[in-house]
């Protein structure tokens, strides 16, 4: 991940808690938080994976701990937050990004499959945000959820994800209203197609599939984990002190719809 002026010391003295941080976008955000000066606590279900993820940060000389906790288990999330607060002090930034997905038509999806995605994405997000409140260094705390374009745009074979992400979007807005008087800001980041992630490897396993997806994006390219990390850092700084209840699209224009064709005159 490259450095930028935005990240250099932007979070010095802050404590960040990142859920679903064993790999992918969320680990990239956690690494960026650390490079920006924050002490970082990470959680995910697998003890081995989360310990390895934390090591990628401590190996760079930054402070981080990894703890095994399933976001579907409120008590486990609460305990992890307590451990993080005991280790580093009050928490300033919380990012909830644990997610599940698979491609299936509604008639080919079991009730348990639907419930699993909703439990991880929506219930998990509620658990992380709700449990974090008593451990926050407020006012000024920044809570961020990772949502997706499916939360605002229906998609075939993604009924479970669309329902879960739409729930996250509304949860974000509701909590922003309820917790704003305490000075706590609540926002969500909606990534578009992001390069070098498991999701895009599944959705676009070939060069042809990748080019087909890119041709429909306004900016004609995938985003990067750095793009999401910089958005998360921005939302956690004083630069965003008057931003709350926002679904922050970092998607190259994906949510605008199919931008195929050449719209430039001439």
Q: Which domain holds residue 245?
A: 15-250
Q: In whole angstroms, give the CA distance from residue 177 to residue 256.
A: 27
Q: Which residues pair with 67 in a beta bridge?
A: 43
Instruction: Give a yes or no: residue 3 inside a domain.
Output: no
pLDDT in tens, 59-84: 999 999 999 999 999 999 999 999 99
* pLDDT at residue 212 in the model: 86
Instruction: Give a yes or no: residue 71 inside a domain.
Output: yes
Instruction: Give a yes or no: residue 223 inside a domain.
Output: yes
pLDDT in tens, 5-41: 455 799 999 999 999 999 999 999 999 999 999 999 9
Q: In whole angstroms, give the CA distance from residue 142 to residue 127.
A: 16
Instruction: Give a yes or no: residue 44 inside a domain.
Output: yes
Burial zone of 237 (CB within 10 Å; 0-12 exposed, 13-18 middle, 19+ buried): middle
What's the number of domains the chain is made of?
A: 1
Instruction: Give a yes or no: residue 217 inside a domain.
Output: yes
Q: Of 250, 253, 200, which Cα lies nearest the Cα of 229?
A: 250
Q: What is the CATH number of the domain that holds 181?
A: 3.40.50.720
Instruction: Give a yes or no: residue 5 inside a domain.
Output: no
- Please tell me the pTM assigned to this model: 0.93
Instruction: Give a yes or no: residue 262 inside a domain.
Output: no
């Amino acid at each position: 991940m490259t450095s930028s002026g935005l990240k250099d010391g932007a979070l010095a003295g802050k404590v960040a808690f990142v859920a679903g941080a064993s790999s992918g976008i969320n680990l990239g955000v956690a690494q960026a938080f650390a490079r920006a000066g924050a002490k970082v606590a990470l959680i995910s279900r697998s003890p081995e994976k989360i310990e390895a993820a934390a090591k990628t940060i401590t190996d760079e000389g930054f402070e981080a701990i990894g703890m095994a906790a399933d976001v579907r288990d409120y008590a486990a999330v609460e305990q992890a937050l307590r451990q993080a607060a005991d280790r580093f002090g009050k928490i300033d930034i919380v990012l909830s990004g644990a997610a599940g997905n698979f491609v299936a038509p509604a008639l080919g999806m079991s009730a348990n499959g639907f419930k699993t995605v909703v439990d991880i994405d929506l219930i998990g997000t509620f658990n992380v945000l709700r449990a974090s409140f008593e451990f926050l260094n407020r006012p000024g705390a920044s809570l961020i959820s990772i949502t997706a374009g499916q939360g605002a745009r229906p998609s075939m074979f993604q009924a479970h994800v669309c329902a879960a992400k739409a729930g996250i979007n509304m949860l974000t807005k509701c909590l922003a209203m309820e917790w704003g008087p305490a000075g706590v800001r609540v926002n969500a980041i909606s990534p578009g197609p992001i390069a070098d992630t498991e999701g895009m490897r599944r959705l676009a396993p070939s060069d042809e599939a990748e080019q087909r997806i890119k041709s429909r994006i306004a900016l004609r390219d995938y985003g990067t984990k750095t793009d999401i990390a910089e958005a998360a850092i921005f939302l956690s700084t004083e630069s965003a002190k008057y931003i709350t209840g926002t679904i922050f699209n970092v998607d190259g224009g994906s949510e605008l719809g199919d931008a195929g064709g050449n719209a430039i005159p001439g």
